[in-house]
Structure 1
Amino acid sequence: MDDFLAYLLQFGSLNHQQLDLIASKATPLFLLKEAYFLEAGQVTRRVGFVLEGVLRICYYNNQGQEITRNFIDELHLATDLRGLEYGLTSAEYVQAVTDCRLLVFTKRDWDELGNTIVGWRDILHQVTTKHLREKLARISPLVSQDATTRYLEFLENYPQLANRIPLAHLASFLGITPSSLSRIRKNIR
């Protein structure tokens, strides 16, 4: 819990009473590797904060291929913000890539925090902005670079993820086949 509270305090001030309220709303959750935190077709009813492990966001394209869109590692929130806010069903899956330990808040408790804590929405806005910047920094190179450069840049920018993600998921994220990724890895050694 301390990790989550320290994380929030980067974005704003909270007093002891507010921190205690936040702590009282959190429930620990352990997800085994390959278990789902959220499945497509479900309405998002919780927010998770990753304490340990890696999740991935994935979907199936119109050819039935599984596509990894993003990864969520430690000290990041995991939810479908649009679905949480508007009660829409998710078009994507959030799946554990490794065994994961999370703190989870129900939508009801998350909303209660927003209605009770002055400045909560400002803190969440800053958190969301930070995550969007990170996401854009991770995704933008995928559009304009060749596969080798994308892989090398991924290794440089996210060394903590490279050895924790199965090659098939990393290849999907990079927009290449697993065999292409294997060749790239072999050629750069």
Structure 2
Amino acid sequence: MKDFINYILQFGDLNQQQIDLIINKATVLELPKDAYFSEAGKIAQQVGFVLEGVIRVCYYNNKGEEITKYFIVENNMVVDLESFENEICSNAYVQAITDCKLLVFSRKDWKELLDTIIPWEAIVHKIISKALRQKVERRSPLVTEDATTRYVMFLKIYPNLVNLIPLSYIASYLGITQSSLSRIRKSIR
């Protein structure tokens, strides 16, 4: 819980009463490896904060291939924002790729926090803005760089993931085949 409070306080000030209210609304969710936090075809019902583990966001393209869009590591928020905010069916899967522990807020409790704590909306907006900036910064080079450079950048951004998650997810994220990823890994050792 302390990690979450420290995280949100980076984005704005809250008094102890507001922090206590937030803590009271949060529940801990143990999400086993391969389980879904939210699923395509369903409306996202919760907002989470990753305390332990790694989550990925993926979808299936029109050829039925699974594409990993991005990874969410510890001390970051997780939500299918468009689905959650607009109450529409998601087109992505949010899946634990390791055993995960999350702090979770239901839609009702999240809305109550927004309605009750004046600075909460501004804090949430800053968190979302930072996450979107990071996503763009991480994805943009993947379009313009060669596969080896993309992999090296991946290692800089996510230094601990390569030993935690299947290489097929990394290859999908980088937009290359698993055999290409294996060749690249061998060439840079």
Taking structure 2 as the reference length, the TM-score comes to 0.98
Name stretches of at least 5 consecutive residues in structure 2 with no aligned partner.
none
Output the CA distance in 2 between the equivalents of 1:123 and 1:176: 37
- Verify: 1:5 aligned to 2:5, yes or no: yes
Displacement of 1:153: 1.1
Structure 1 gap ranges (5+): none
- Displacement of 1:161 in angstroms is 2.3
Count of residue pairs the alignment pairs up: 189
* Structure 1 match to 2:14: 14
**Aligned-partner Cα distance in 1 for 2:105–2:149:** 38
Aligned partners of 2:136 and 2:144: how far apart in 1?
13
How do residues 23-172 of structure 1 correspond to structure 2 at under 5 angstroms? 23-172=23-172
**1:140 Cα offset (Å):** 0.5
**Aligned residue identity for 2:76:** H
1: CA distance between counterparts of 2:136 and 2:94?
19
Pairwise CA distance, 1:113 = 0.2
Q: Counterparts of 1:67 and 1:23 in 2: how far apart (Å)?
A: 35
Q: How far apart, in 2, do the equivalents of 1:175 and 1:74 lie?
A: 24
Q: Secondary structure at the match of 1:159?
A: coil
Amino acid at match of 1:37: F
TM-score, normalised with respect to structure 1: 0.98
CA distances 1:76-103 after superposition (whole Å, capped 9, x unpaired): 1111111111101100000001000000
Distance in 1, matches of 2:139 and 2:165, equals 17
- Find runs of 4+ consecutive structure 1 residues off by over 6 angstroms: none
**Separation of aligned partners in 1, 2:12 and 2:162:** 32
Residue 162 (structure 1) shift: 2.5
Q: 2:160 aligns to what SS in structure 1? A: helix
1:143-176: CA deviation from partner (whole Å, max 9, x where unpaired) = 0001001001111222132222210000000000
Deviates more, 1:89-98 or 1:150-159: 150-159
- Amino-acid identity (%): 59
CA RMSD of aligned residues (A): 0.7
Q: In structure 1, how many angstroms separate the alpha carbons of the residues matched to 2:130 and 2:27?
A: 24
